[in-house]
Amino acid sequence: MTDLPPRSRGVIALLDANCTVCMICARECPDWCIHITSHTEVEQQPGSARPRSRNVLDRFAIDYGQCLYCGICVEVCPFDALHWAPEFGYPGTGSIEGDGAVAELVHERDVLATWVEKVPPPPPLDPAAEAAPETATGTGRRPGSLRGRT
């Protein structure tokens, strides 16, 4: 099998749980290929004074027949709901008369969820870089603080 680089752009996977229906990916897509439908649910959360409304995702579809694999949606999602996966073998097959091959390339929410397991773990950090402050070996101070480094 082909050994693909870590950030290969094969297919985009959707993490349902992270999506808050902010619509930023649908608006930024240059091809208009992300289709999102949602509705608002109002429910009373325990411990809050008034009912809270939240947006519930109904339909999230990416038209891979239109997608130009630019990655703008992945970059711009503020909640890391979209991820690249290096999988590339998903051609659309139509009938023997030639119908429906391109329509099969519209991946709905359930198909996008199946790509999530193909998402590779993020590449490891550069070992020569400074350790992140969150780790035990970090400086233990605010990120960017200069104490002890000048």
Partner 1 sequence: MYKAIRGDHAWEPIPGGIIGGWGSARRKLVGPQVLPSLVVTVSARPDSVVLNWGTTYRVTVLELGLACCGVEVMAALDRLPALGVTPVAGAGEAHVLVVSGTVTDAMLPAVIRSFEAMPEPRYVISVGACSNTGGPYWDSYCVTKGIDQALPVHVAVPGCPPRPEALLEGLKALHGLVNA
Partner 2 sequence: MTTPKTAFGQTIHHVELADWLATATAQHGNGYVMFDWLGVEDAGRPGAAGQRHAVFLHVIDPRTREGVMLRTEIGETDALPSVAHLWKGARWHEREAAEMFGIAVGSEPEHLLLPDSFEGHPLRKDFVLASRVVRPWPGALEPGEDNTSAPSRRRTAPPGVPDPSWGPRREEENQ
Given the rule CB under 8 A, which residues bind partner 2?
20-23, 26-29, 32-40, 53, 55-56, 58
Sign, CA dihedral 61-103-112-34, equals negative
**Cα separation of 14 and 109, whole Å?**
7
Considering only residues 36 through 75, tell me which ones interact with partner 1, judged by CB under 8 A: 63-69
φ, ψ of residue 86 to 5 degrees: the values are: -80, 10
Per CB under 8 A, does 91 bind partner 1?
yes
Asked if residue 5 binds partner 1 (CB under 8 A), the reply is no
For the segment 71-90, give every residue that binds partner 1 (CB under 8 A).
Answer: 88-90
Taking the C-alpha atoms of residue 87 and residue 65, their distance in angstroms, rounded to an integer, is 15
> Which residues form the interface with partner 1 (CB under 8 A)?
2, 10, 30-32, 63-69, 88-94, 96-99, 101-102, 104-105
